[in-house]
């Protein structure tokens, strides 16, 4: 059909980022904003933009679809659709600074006893331990992991990384491949997971790995919940091996009110708020990728088919 849309912006009417994306797309493609459950003519659609859970149906119903721009960093719900003919781009290059703030803020708050100190009602001159010289391991050495590593090094931490093949990455003292996760975790004082959700990242943080960490280590998960075996984390905390766990992501979200994590001493739950998405970032990433798409070039941030990220 002559006036059928070529680009779908899938979002609730209140989503503030849609105006920017529409302004960028309209000069190049016939674009419309639709609610997730709207039924429209999709025979001419070649691009869709939106949150992954809202895009499953459009992806399956648009026969000429060539590019999907996610408004989230995590694309678990749609990664399996990536192919030689369909490029899927996560919201990359956006969350590193916010995640670095989150990790360092929690690490310092726990190690320097900030909250407890603030509630003291008597003089207590005993010093708190410093983090300088201690060992931090980061699972995932992409944009988020690298931003955390660079921030941590400013505080004098020794930073190791874990990635699929052990390749060297700027900001890390050394890197291990995923198959060597136990050697990577040996003697760490702090462990941070910034991993995507794939079958290869399932259950990487288990009892065996946790036992390799130094006594009183701190564990943080800002990636995806599938990487952590929650019951084994709880057991490590209850046994006194770990000092604390800061968890932003979970296998089931929202985390059920009766989940034992809520009542486990030493667990801090932050309800998937570690990396809020700045609205303007969606337009900036879309514009960057749109220029490449219009030029007929490959999108640099596209998911690798079959890899999941």
CA distance 67 to 77: 16
Residue 300 in domain: no
Catalytic residue among 224, 241, 243, 251: 224
Indicate whether 135 and 235 sit together in one domain.
yes
Catalytic residue among 112, 268, 272, 288: 272
**CATH number reported for the structural domain that contains residue 145 in this entry:** 3.40.50.720
Indicate whether 136 and 180 sit together in one domain.
yes
Which among 304, 219, 231 has a CA at the least distance from the CA of 269? Answer: 219
- Length of the chain, please? 309
Report pLDDT for 40.
92
Residue 41 in domain: yes
Residue 200 in domain: yes
Residue 104 in domain: yes
Per-residue model confidence as pLDDT tens digits over 141-172: 999 999 999 999 999 999 999 999 999 999 99
Indicate whether 153 and 27 sit together in one domain.
no
Tokens of 237: 């905390």
Per-residue model confidence as pLDDT tens digits over 191-206: 999 999 999 999 999 9
pTM of structure:
0.92
Which among 85, 6, 76, 73 has a CA at the least distance from the CA of 40? Answer: 6
Within 8 A by CB and 6+ apart from 32, the residues are 5, 7, 8, 9, 40
Indicate whether 48 and 138 sit together in one domain.
no
Instruction: Mark whether 122 is an active-site residue.
Output: no
Instruction: Mark whether 224 is an active-site residue.
Output: yes
Indicate whether 166 and 177 sit together in one domain.
yes
Structural domain span for residue 286: 7-93+277-294
Indicate whether 288 and 146 sit together in one domain.
no
Indicate whether 102 and 240 sit together in one domain.
yes
**What value does the mean pLDDT take over residues 291-298?**
96
User: Which of 236, 253, 269 is the C-terminal boundary of a domain?
Assistant: 269
**What value does the mean pLDDT take over residues 16-27?**
95
Per-residue model confidence as pLDDT tens digits over 51-101: 999 999 999 999 999 999 999 999 999 999 999 999 999 999 999 999 999
Number of structural domains found in the chain = 2
Within 8 A by CB and 6+ apart from 114, the residues are 108
Residue 59 in domain: yes
Residue 153 in domain: yes
Indicate whether 194 and 205 sit together in one domain.
yes
Q: Is the pLDDT of residue 37 over 80?
A: yes
Indicate whether 17 and 155 sit together in one domain.
no
Indicate whether 248 and 105 sit together in one domain.
yes
Indicate whether 144 and 230 sit together in one domain.
yes
Residue 303 in domain: no
């Amino acid at each position: 059909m002559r006036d059928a849309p070529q680009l779908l912006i899938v979002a609730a009417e209140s989503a503030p980022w849609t105006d920017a994306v529409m302004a960028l797309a309209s000069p190049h493609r016939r674009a419309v904003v639709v609610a997730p459950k709207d039924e429209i003519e999709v025979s001419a659609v070649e691009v869709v933009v939106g949150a992954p859970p809202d895009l499953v149906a459009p992806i399956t119903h648009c026969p000429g679809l060539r590019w999907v721009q996610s408004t989230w960093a995590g694309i678990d719900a749609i990664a399996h659709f990536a192919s030689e003919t369909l490029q899927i781009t996560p919201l990359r290059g956006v969350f590193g600074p916010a995640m670095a703030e989150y990790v360092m803020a929690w690490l310092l708050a726990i190690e320097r006893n900030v909250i407890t100190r603030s509630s003291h009602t008597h003089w207590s001159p005993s010093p708190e331990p410093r983090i300088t010289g201690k060992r931090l391991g980061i699972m995932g050495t992409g944009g988020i992991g690298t931003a955390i590593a660079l921030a941590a090094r400013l505080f004098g931490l020794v930073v190791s990384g874990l990635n699929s093949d052990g390749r060297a990455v700027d900001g890390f003292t050394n890197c291990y491949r995923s198959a060597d996760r136990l050697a990577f975790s040996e003697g760490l004082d702090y462990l941070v997971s910034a991993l995507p959700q794939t079958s290869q990242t399932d259950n990487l943080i288990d009892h065996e790995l946790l036992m390799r960490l130094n006594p009183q280590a701190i564990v943080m998960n800002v990636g995806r919940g599938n990487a952590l075996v929650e019951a084994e984390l709880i057991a490590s905390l209850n046994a006194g091996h770990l000092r604390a766990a800061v968890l932003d992501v979970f296998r089931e979200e929202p985390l059920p009110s009766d989940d034992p994590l809520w009542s486990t001493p030493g667990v801090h739950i932050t309800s998937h708020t570690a990396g809020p998405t700045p609205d303007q970032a969606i337009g900036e990433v879309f514009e960057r990728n749109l220029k490449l798409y219009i030029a007929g070039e490959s999108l640099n941030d596209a998911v690798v088919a079959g890899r999941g990220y």
